[in-house]
């Protein structure tokens, strides 16, 4: 698969590094705007174009991978689709449900696939949760609790991340990771409540606590924050079932059954790649991109990032 990489910042470099480990994947060209993009293209020895159309018309491209700031996803994805290319788009697909619907409609009309890179779906941890929910070894899920907390990413100050029109702030940028998992496991919630807080002078909310409620009786609370406190990055969850609990934290994924059995699930990654972002070495993106390229090669949608769920999640977040 010949790939055109669009946006060569943190995620563009992460995807580039991972493509180097995928047999049959070659990043053959890139599109970028700034000095950082020029430096990366030079370091990687690939041609840099100003637009997706120019790149697609000059190179033999199978798939376009969009890793730009979020507000640019829609025009760039539409450009790629107009060129008849399959597309991988970083999360969140867009900041408005109507935009995402337009993007999927354009892909359907052109007969190409549009994949959203919700990376947690490809992790061993979430795979384990999916299996435990599906095989009901602990019974039905009753309650869940998800956290994704980080010190405020101050290095992005002045950048697009803190501009609501460009990133959508915490709900779209950070919480969407967990909400995508929550909806994939338990379906679309029937009700959503939330609280938010911000310190004095802050132009955005620093912390959100969400409560998702289903008529079935299932409840999930979730928290997302860019705290003005130098805490280590914290991402963890627990799901309580009728006869046990599954916990994902710094110890990996552990199952606690009602009969006293403790199961340490194997979530180790056979191959890890330096992602170049604050995640360090990880197998997450390798699994994600390997899967999405395999789907694209067959011209099929991905069962792990289906259109309807992507739209459901965006609809919920747009209401927040
Ligand atoms: N999956 C994840 O875990 C994860 C993590 C971080 C960011 N993201 C997502 O990835 C996307 C990019 O985030 P980032 O942190 O890499 O941003 P970044 O600011 O580090 O990089 C963005 C790059 O896009 C380039 N760019 C800007 N305008 C462009 C244009 N018109 N055409 C081509 N390139 C252009 C910039 O020059 C820059 O190199 C965002 O949507 C973000 O939400 C996902």
Examine the pLDDT at 278 and tell me if it is beyond 80.
no
What pLDDT score was predicted for residue 276?
A: 78
| Ligand 1 atom nearest to CA at 68 | 24
CATH architecture observed for domain 2-117: 3-Layer(aba) Sandwich (3.40)
255 Cβ below 6 A of ligand 1: no
Per-residue DSSP letters for the chain? -EEEEE--SHHHHHHHHHHTTSTT-EEEEEE--SHHHHHHHHHHT--EESSHHHHHHHS--SEEEE-S-GGGHHHHHHHHHHTT-EEEEESSS-SSHHHHHHHHHHHHHHT--EEEE-GGGGSHHHHHHHHHHHHTTT-SEEEEEEEEEEE--GGGTTSGGG-HHHH-HHIIIIIHHHHHHHHHHH-S-SEEEEEEE--TT-SS-SEEEEEEE-TTS-EEEEEEEEESS-PPPEEEEEEEETTEEEEEETTEEEEEETTS-EEEE----SS-EE-SSTT-EESHHHHHHHHHHHHHHHT---TTS-HHHHHHHHHHHHH-
The protein residue whose alpha carbon is closest to atom 4 in ligand 1 is: 11
Q: How far is the CA of 58 from the centre of ligand 1 (A)?
A: 24
Beta strands 141-151 and 234-241, pairing class: antiparallel
Ligand 1 pocket test target in 11, 29, 42, 287 with most atoms within 8 Å of CB:
11
**Can you tell me the mean pLDDT for 190-216?**
96
* pLDDT, tens only, 67-94: 999 999 999 999 999 999 999 999 999 9
Rg (Cα) of the chain, in Å, rounded?
Answer: 20
119 Cβ below 6 A of ligand 1: yes
275 Cβ below 6 A of ligand 1: no
Ligand 1 pocket test target in 67, 119, 181 with most atoms within 8 Å of CB:
67
**Can you tell me the mean pLDDT for 147-171?**
90
Q: How far is the CA of 37 from the centre of ligand 1 (A)?
A: 11
Examine the pLDDT at 157 and tell me if it is beyond 70.
no
314 Cβ below 6 A of ligand 1: no
Distance CA 285, CA 121 (A): 10
**Mean pLDDT (the chain, rounded):** 96
* pLDDT, tens only, 78-136: 999 999 999 999 999 999 999 999 999 999 999 999 999 999 999 999 999 999 999 99
The residue count of the chain comes to 320
| Ligand 1 atom nearest to CA at 72 | 31
What pLDDT score was predicted for residue 159?
A: 87
Q: How far is the CA of 73 from the centre of ligand 1 (A)?
A: 9
Fold of 124-266: Dihydrodipicolinate Reductase; domain 2 (3.30.360)
Query: Two tokens at 282?
Result: 């990880």
Examine the pLDDT at 180 and tell me if it is beyond 80.
yes
What is the torsional sign of CA 294, 310, 13, 30? positive
Q: How far is the CA of 77 from the centre of ligand 1 (A)?
A: 13
Q: How far is the CA of 45 from the centre of ligand 1 (A)?
A: 20
Distance CA 34, CA 50 (A): 10
Domain ranges of the chain: 2-117, 124-266
Q: Which of 238, 216, 279 is nearest to 129 (CA)?
A: 238
Distance CA 281, CA 270 (A): 12
Same fold across 2-117 and 124-266: no
Contact status, residue 284 vs residue 119, Cβ threshold 8 Å: yes
The protein residue whose alpha carbon is closest to atom 21 in ligand 1 is: 9
317 Cβ below 6 A of ligand 1: no
pTM, rounded to two decimals: 0.97
What pLDDT score was predicted for residue 8?
A: 96
Q: 10 Å Cβ neighbour count for 21?
A: 15
Contact status, residue 29 vs residue 47, Cβ threshold 8 Å: yes
Distance CA 266, CA 196 (A): 36
279 Cβ below 6 A of ligand 1: no
Q: In which band, very low, low, confident or very high, does the pLDDT at 275 lie, cut at 50, 70 and 90?
A: confident
Query: Which residues are within 8 A (CB) of 99 and not within 5 positions of it... i.e. 6 or more apart?
Result: 74, 93
Ligand 1 pocket test target in 9, 34, 170 with most atoms within 8 Å of CB:
9
């Amino acid at each position: 698969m010949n790939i055109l990489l669009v946006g060569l910042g943190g995620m563009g470099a992460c995807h580039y590094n991972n493509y180097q480990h995928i047999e049959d994947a070659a990043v053959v060209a890139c599109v970028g705007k700034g000095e950082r993009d020029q430096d990366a293209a030079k370091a990687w020895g690939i041609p840099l174009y100003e637009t997706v159309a120019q790149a697609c018309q000059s190179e033999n491209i199978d798939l376009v991978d969009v890793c730009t700031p979020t507000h640019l996803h829609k025009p760039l994805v539409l450009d790629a689709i107009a060129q008849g290319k399959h597309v991988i788009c970083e999360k969140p697909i867009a900041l408005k449900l109507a935009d995402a619907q337009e993007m999927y409609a354009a892909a359907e009309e052109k007969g190409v696939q549009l994949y959203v890179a919700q990376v947690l779906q490809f992790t061993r941890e979430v795979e384990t949760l999916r299996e435990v929910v599906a095989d009901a070894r602990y019974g039905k899920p009753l309650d869940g609790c998800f956290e994704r907390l980080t010190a405020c990413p101050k290095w992005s100050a002045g950048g697009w991340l803190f501009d609501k029109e460009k990133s959508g702030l915490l709900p779209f940028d950070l919480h969407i990771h967990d909400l995508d998992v929550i909806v994939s496991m338990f379906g679309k919630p029937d009700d959503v409540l939330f609280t938010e807080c911000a310190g004095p002078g802050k132009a955005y909310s620093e912390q959100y606590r969400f409560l998702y409620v289903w008529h079935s009786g299932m409840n999930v609370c979730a928290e997302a924050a860019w705290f003005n406190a130098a805490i280590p990055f914290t991402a963890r969850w627990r799901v309580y079932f009728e006869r046990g609990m599954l916990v994902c934290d710094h110890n990996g994924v552990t199952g606690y059954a009602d009969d006293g059995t403790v199961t340490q699930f194997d979530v180790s990654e056979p191959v890890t790649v330096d992602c170049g972002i604050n995640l360090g070495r990880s197998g997450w993106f390798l699994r994600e991109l390997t899967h999405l390229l395999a789907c694209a090669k067959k011209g099929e949608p991905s069962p792990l990032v289906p259109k309807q769920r992507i739209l459901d999640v965006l609809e919920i977040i747009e209401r927040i």
